Structure 1
Amino acid sequence: NVPIPVPVSYHSFGGWKRSGFGDIDQYGMEGLRFWTKSKKVTQRWPDGGGDGSNAFVIPTMG
Structure 2
Amino acid sequence: MNQEYFIVAGKTEGFSYKDAAIHRVCSAKGVEIALKHLRNDGFTIFYVSRVIERIDDNVIEEE
TM normalised by structure 1 equals: 0.19
Bigger helix share: 2
TM normalised by structure 2 equals: 0.19
Structure with larger Rg: 1
Relative contact order higher in (CA < 8 Å, ≥ 6 apart):
2
Bigger strand share: 2
